[in-house]
Amino acid sequence: MSELTSRETLAEAAPLAPKSERSAHWLQGGALLIIIAVLAVFVFLSPIFLTVGNLGNVLQQTVVTGTLAFGLTLVLSGGGSHSLTGGIDLSVAANMGLSGAVFATQLSHGAPISSAILLALLSGGALGLLNALAVVWLRILPLLATLTTMNIAIGLEMVLTENSTVPVSGPLFDTLIGAGPLALPWLAWIFAGVALVFIVLAHFTSFGLRLQAVGSHPIAARAQGLSVSRYVAASYVLCGLAAGIASLASVTLLSGSSPGANDSLLMVIASALLGVVFSRRLVPTIGGTLVSALFLSLIANGFQLINISSYWINGVEGLLILLVVSLTAVLRQRQQRRKVRV
């Protein structure tokens, strides 16, 4: 290994500087205080905010954006934090819309539900594979590649559904949105299971740990013999599968496939980006994404309970993204300056 490569590898592996680490702790503490303060306001203004029924509804409403954000978190983790060349998947919400359309149209044509579920998951995974091919093998910037596949997914969904709602119904869908253990909807329990699977995959398996290494320290990962391109490609495919899973929940909640799934993209991105606040090293984590997704859902729910238009949530999401991205950028710049000194 050359002297230059050795220095770059050492710099990549360098921990946060003491000042940056202290600042990160302040950022995390401030974020937790903000969450507690916001929730306290909602509890004070609405007596039903902390009821089991309302919290179960929040969990159920988070299943779609949360699952999509889990997939996006894997892409962010494997692609790194660079603003242009780092990992991003703008097509994830549109992918969900297309997969949901496949699922609903198959059911409307009389296909068995098992076949419809399989085709929906294959549809999501196929679009994720297309993203992987564009980003990894064609070396198109992730922003441009996934923006293109986003439009492809939207167009295919419109062709498949003729830009109209495809209704579905059945006892299975009624059961999923009905009450389960502890009076929580079954869909909320399924969401907890999906979150657990992604947490284990991302943080307790060799694949997940290597994916984090590929995103955080690509030079060191290559030096250890890891195939960076394969791990990045796998993250896009898994993100596509997450979109397929989310489409099943979306169809269940909406009783069909409805156009406009891409409207949730901002909340998905916000959940994944805000999740870095809850990481000691300010990197994407599934646990952090889960917390931020639930927080954003609680804000939207609280606005509804106190009769404030939910459209304000877009402004809140935008401000939170701006704040977190700005602060983490400052901390990472400090880290980069320390790498240069190393």
User: What's the rounded Cα separation, in Å, for the pair 265 and 203?
Assistant: 25
User: What's the rounded Cα separation, in Å, for the pair 120 and 107?
Assistant: 11
Q: Could you give all domains of the chain from N- to C-terminal order, each with its CATH number?
A: 3-341 (1.10.3470)
Q: Is 254 exposed, middle or buried (0-12, 13-18, 19+ CB in 10 A)?
A: middle
Instruction: Name the 3-class secondary structure at 285.
Output: coil
A 10 A CB-CB count for 309 gives 8
DSSP classification of residue 25: H
Predicted local confidence at residue 332, as pLDDT: 62
**How does residue 10 score in pLDDT terms, banded at 50, 70 and 90?**
very low
For residues 134, 140, 145, 146, the Cα torsion angle rounded to the nearest 10 degrees is: 90
Give 76's strand partners.
none
Query: pLDDT by residue (tens digit) across 192-230?
Result: 999 999 999 999 999 999 998 888 888 888 888 888 899
Regarding predicted confidence, which is higher, 311 or 101? 101
Query: pLDDT by residue (tens digit) across 156-189?
Result: 999 988 888 888 888 888 888 888 888 888 999 9
Predicted local confidence at residue 279, as pLDDT: 76
User: What's the rounded Cα separation, in Å, for the pair 69 and 268?
Assistant: 5
Query: pLDDT by residue (tens digit) across 70-87?
Result: 999 999 999 876 656 678
Contact at 8 Å (CB) between 79 and 142? yes
Nearest partner of 319 among 282, 280, 281, 274, judged by Cα: 274
Who contacts 181 (Cβ-Cβ below 8 Å, separation ≥6)? 189
Report, as an integer, the average pLDDT of 242-249.
94
**How does residue 2 score in pLDDT terms, banded at 50, 70 and 90?**
very low
The secondary structure of 82-108 as a DSSP string is -TTTS---TTHHHHHHHHHHHHHHHHH
From residue 74, give the alpha-carbon distance in Å to each of 41, 279, 303: 33, 14, 30
Predicted local confidence at residue 5, as pLDDT: 38
Report the share of the chain in percent with pLDDT over 90.
Answer: 40
Regarding predicted confidence, which is higher, 27 or 146? 146
User: What's the rounded Cα separation, in Å, for the pair 27 and 312?
Assistant: 24
Match 């699977």 to its residue by tokens: 197
DSSP classification of residue 263: G
Q: Report which listed range, 7-16, 26-35, 233-242, 305-314, is most confident.
A: 233-242
Handedness of CA 274, 277, 280, 286 (dihedral sign): negative
User: What's the rounded Cα separation, in Å, for the pair 195 and 213?
Assistant: 21
Instruction: Name the 3-class secondary structure at 18.
Output: helix
Nearest partner of 41 among 293, 298, 290, judged by Cα: 298
Who contacts 189 (Cβ-Cβ below 8 Å, separation ≥6)? 180, 181
Average pLDDT, the chain: 83
Predicted local confidence at residue 24, as pLDDT: 58
| 174's tokens | 């009624």
Report, as an integer, the average pLDDT of 38-52.
87
User: What's the rounded Cα separation, in Å, for the pair 242 and 77?
Assistant: 15
Predicted local confidence at residue 329, as pLDDT: 66
Report, as an integer, the average pLDDT of 99-117.
92
Predicted local confidence at residue 165, as pLDDT: 85
Report, as an integer, the average pLDDT of 265-276.
86
Who contacts 336 (Cβ-Cβ below 8 Å, separation ≥6)? none
Query: pLDDT by residue (tens digit) across 290-317?
Result: 998 998 888 888 888 888 776 777 777 6
